Amino acid sequence: MQAGKPDSQEAGTLPGGLRLWTKSYVNGAASTLLTTLVTFPIYKTIFRQQLHAVMVREALRQLHKEGLSKFYRGILPPLLAKTVQGTVLFGTYDTVLHWMSPQATLNRPQSLYHCSLAGMLSGFIEALVLTPCERVQNVLQDSRKDARLPTIRSILQEFNSYGVGKRLKLGYYRGLVPIIFRNGLGSALYFSFKDPIRDALSEKGLPSGLSSFVSGSVNGMGVSLLLYPLSVLITNMQAQVGGEVRSTGHSFRALWESRQGRVSLLYRGGSLVIFRSCITWGLTTAIYESLKGRSGGRN
C-alpha cells in the first residue's frame, strides 16, 4: 500500500481539516449507536454462552425464562459504551493518522504502517475510556448477580465501597490488561484492511455502500474469531465481584481448566460471533463511510 498524494497544504492548518476530524467523531458515534440497537439481542445471547459454556438453545431458553422485562436489562451500558467507542475509535484514528501523516489527505490511501499504528493507538485509548462501562455491563448481564446487584446504581455503590487503591483494580478496571491487548490489536487489524478490501471490491463494480458493508463484515468476522478467546477471558474476569484479583495468566489457566482443555468449548458462542460481527461491523462500516462521504470526507 502506498501513501496518497500530498495535499497542497499541511493538514491542521485548514479549516476543512479541523472540520473533518470533528465529523469523524460525530460519524463514529452515530454509526455505532444505530448498530448497537439492532444487534444487542445477539450480543446478550453470546454473553450467556461465554459465561456458562452452553449451547445457543440453552442460552435462548435462559433469556426466555427470565422474560421480556429483563431481556433488554443491561442495554444502557453497551449503548453508551458503543456510542463512545465509535466516537473515540474513529475520531482518534483519523486524528492520529492525520497527525502522523500531515502531508496526506484522509480521503486517500495511507501506508499500512500508519494505518496499523493509528489503529492500535486508538484501540489503547478506547480501552482506557471504556473498560469501566464494559465492567458494569458484564456484571449486569450475569444472572447470578441479579439478587445482590440488580441495578447499575447498586454495582457502582459496590465498587465505590472499596478502598481507593482497590476501587480501580477490583472495581472499574478489572481485566484491563487483556482488554488493552484485545482492543489495540483488533483496531490495528480492522483499520489496516478496511479500506483495501473496500477499494478492491469497488474496483470489481460493487456499489460503494455494499463494498463498505462487505469489507466491514469480513474484517469484523476475522478479527472477532482471532481474538474470541480473549473476549471469553475478559467476560469471566469482569463478571467476578470482590475476591482476589488474579493475574491474566492465572485467570486463563482457570478458564482453560473449566473448559476441560478443549478449544471447542473455549470457542462456544463462536458461531453467533461470526453472525453478530458480520452485521455489527458491516453496518458500522457502511453507515460510517456513508456519513463520511456526505460530510465530504471521501472523494
Name the CA radius of gyration of the chain, rounded: 20
Examine residue 115 and state whether it is found in any structural domain, yes or no: yes
Examine residue 5 and state whether it is found in any structural domain, yes or no: no
User: Along the 299 residues of the chain, how does pLDDT read in single tens digits?
Assistant: 433 333 333 344 444 444 456 888 999 999 999 888 877 877 778 777 767 777 778 887 887 787 766 777 777 877 887 898 899 999 999 888 888 876 655 556 678 888 999 999 999 999 999 999 889 888 887 878 777 888 889 999 999 998 888 888 889 999 999 999 999 999 999 999 999 999 999 999 889 899 999 999 999 999 998 999 999 999 889 888 887 778 889 989 999 998 888 888 888 877 777 787 888 999 999 999 998 887 665 54
Contact 95, 24 (CB under 8 A): yes
Examine residue 7 and state whether it is found in any structural domain, yes or no: no
Examine residue 10 and state whether it is found in any structural domain, yes or no: no
Mark out the alpha helices in the chain (DSSP H runs): 15-52, 56-66, 68-71, 76-100, 112-140, 152-160, 164-166, 176-203, 208-238, 248-258, 263-266, 270-294
Examine residue 2 and state whether it is found in any structural domain, yes or no: no
Examine residue 9 and state whether it is found in any structural domain, yes or no: no
Domain residues for 192?
Answer: 17-297
pTM over 0.85: no
Write the CATH number for 62.
1.50.40.10
Domain count, the chain: 1
